[in-house]
Amino acid sequence: MYNFTFQNTTKIYFGENQLEHLGEELKRYGTRVLLTYGGGSIKRIGLYDKVMGELKKAGMTVFELSGIEPNPRHSTVNRGVEICKKENVSVLLAVGGGSTIDCTKAIAAAAFYDGDGWDLVAGSAPVTRALPVFTVLTIAATGSEMNAGAVISNMETNEKLALIHPLLQPKASFLDPTNTYSVGAFQMACGAADTLSHIFDTAYFTAAKKMDMVDRIMEEVLRTVVKHAPTAIKEPENYEARANLMWASTWALNGFLQTGAVQATSCHKMEHELSAFYDITHGLGLAILTPRWMEYILDESVASLFKKFGVNVFGIDASMSDMEGARSAISKLSGFLFETLGLNSTLTELGIDDANFNVMAKRACRGGVLAGFRRLTPEDVEKIYRMCL
C-alpha cells in the first residue's frame, strides 16, 4: 500500500537577491553556458542584464538561444543543440517559464544525440546523457523548475509529447517572486489553472487510495491557488500572493503530491491535442476541459470525491448529497476559472470548431483508450471536446 519512491534533488534558491549564487552553482559544471529564453520579456524587466552580470562576474562564456516559443517546438530544440555542439557548451541556463525550461531540458538530452531531437521526445531513441540544466523562473505554472519532465511540440505532425527522464532534473532553480510581477492577468490565470490541473490530473482525482496526509496537503495547495491567484492578478506586485503561487506551482508537480498516487493525466492528454493542433496556451486549454471532463465522468462512483473537493477547497455545504455536492463543486470550479480568473470558457471563443475533434480524440487515446481516473474511449473524448464548444 502506498508504495512509492520519491527523490527530488533540485536545489531551490527562493526569494529576492538570490542570483548572486548563480555563478557559483553553474561553475561547478563548466564555464561555457547556453542562456535560453523566450520573446525578450526578460530584457524588459531587467532580468537579462542581471543574469548576464552574474555570468560575466563568474567568468562564464555565454551563448544565447532566444525566441523559444510557448509550446516549444522540436525545431527550436534542434537549434539549441546545434549551438551546444558547435560551441562545446557545458551547462544550460533557462531564464523563463515552463516553455523555455522544457525546451532547454530537451536540448540538454539531445545535445548527446546525433539526429533529430524529436526522436528522444517521441521515444524512438533513448536519453543516455544530458547537460546540466539550471533555471531562473519567471512564471508560476508548470513546475518544470523542480521536475524531470519536458513537453515538446512538433507542429509538422501536430504532436505534443512529454519527455521525462531523471537526467533532465534541474540542478538548481532560482525562484524570485518579483520576477513574476510583470506577468499579466491572462498568463497568471493560465498558470493558476495549470497548477490546479497538475494536482487534479496527477494525484487528486485518481482511483488509487491516497495517504491521508498527502491528500490533505493537496487540498492545501489547491486552496493556496484559489486564495492567492485573484490577489496576484488584482495586485501584480503583491509579494505574498506571488510568492505563494510560485511555491504552490512548484510543489504541485515536484513529485511529493504524486507519492502513492496513480497518475491519470486525462485532461493533460486531451489538452496536448488542443495545443498541438491550435497552439493555444496549455493552462487555458486545461481550464476549459477540466470542468467538462468532471461533468462527463460524473456518476455515483466519483461524486463523493468531487464533493469532498468542493467542501475542502471551495467550502461548499457538506450536508448536500454526494451528487448535489459534486455538481456544486464543478460549478464552483467553473466560476473560479471563468469568472474570478476571467478565462475564456469555450473553445468557440478561441476560434476552434469541431473540424479536428475526431482525429484529436483518437490521438489523445494513443493505444486505444485513455486510461486514468475513468477510462475514456475516443468517442468519450470527442464528446468532451464538443462540450467545450
Task: List residues near a second copy by CB under 8 A.
Answer: 1-18, 21, 172, 211-214, 216-217, 220-221, 223-224, 227-228, 239-240, 243-244, 247-248, 251, 256, 259-260
Q: Which of 287, 269, 246 is nearest to 364 (CA)?
A: 269
What number of CA atoms fall less than 13 Å from residue 54's CA on the CB side?
A: 20
366-375 — which CB contacts under 8 Å span 24+ positions? 366/269, 370/266, 370/269, 370/270, 371/264, 372/206, 372/264, 372/265, 372/266, 372/269, 373/205, 373/206, 373/207, 373/264, 373/266, 373/297, 373/302, 374/266, 374/297, 374/302
CB of 262 to a second copy, least distance (A): 14
Residue whose CB is less far from a second copy, 260 or 378: 260
Question: How far is the C-alpha of 198 from the C-alpha of 10, rounded, in Å?
Answer: 19
Residue whose CB is less far from a second copy, 4 or 299: 4
Residue whose CB is less far from a second copy, 16 or 349: 16
CB of 6 to a second copy, least distance (A): 4
Residue whose CB is less far from a second copy, 231 or 356: 231
Take residue 39 and report the three cell numbers written for it.
520573446
Question: How far is the C-alpha of 42 from the C-alpha of 51, rounded, in Å?
Answer: 10
Q: What is the DSSP string of 182-196?
A: T--HHHHHHHHHHHH
Residue whose CB is less far from a second copy, 257 or 297: 257
215-224 — which CB contacts under 8 Å span 24+ positions? 216/312, 217/256, 217/257, 218/257, 219/309, 219/312, 219/313, 221/195, 221/248, 221/251, 221/252, 221/257, 222/196, 222/309, 222/313, 223/312, 223/313, 224/248
Specify the amino acid at residue 15.
Answer: G
Take residue 40 and report the three cell numbers written for it.
525578450
CB of 378 to a second copy, least distance (A): 35
Residue whose CB is less far from a second copy, 71 or 250: 250
Question: How far is the C-alpha of 59 from the C-alpha of 65, rounded, in Å?
Answer: 19
Residue whose CB is less far from a second copy, 71 or 312: 312
CB of 2 to a second copy, least distance (A): 5
Alpha carbon dihedral 325, 329, 330, 335, in 10-degree steps, equals 140
Instruction: Map residue 278 onto helix, strand or coil.
Output: helix
Residue whose CB is less far from a second copy, 210 or 374: 210
CB of 212 to a second copy, least distance (A): 5
CB of 1 to a second copy, least distance (A): 6
CB of 110 to a second copy, least distance (A): 26
Residue whose CB is less far from a second copy, 209 or 375: 209
CB of 213 to a second copy, least distance (A): 4
Residue whose CB is less far from a second copy, 48 or 174: 174
Please check whether residue 372 is in contact with residue 266, taking contact to mean a CB–CB distance below 8 angstroms: yes
CB of 339 to a second copy, least distance (A): 23
Residue owning grid cell 493558476? 192
Please check whether residue 189 is in contact with residue 343, taking contact to mean a CB–CB distance below 8 angstroms: yes
CB of 10 to a second copy, least distance (A): 7
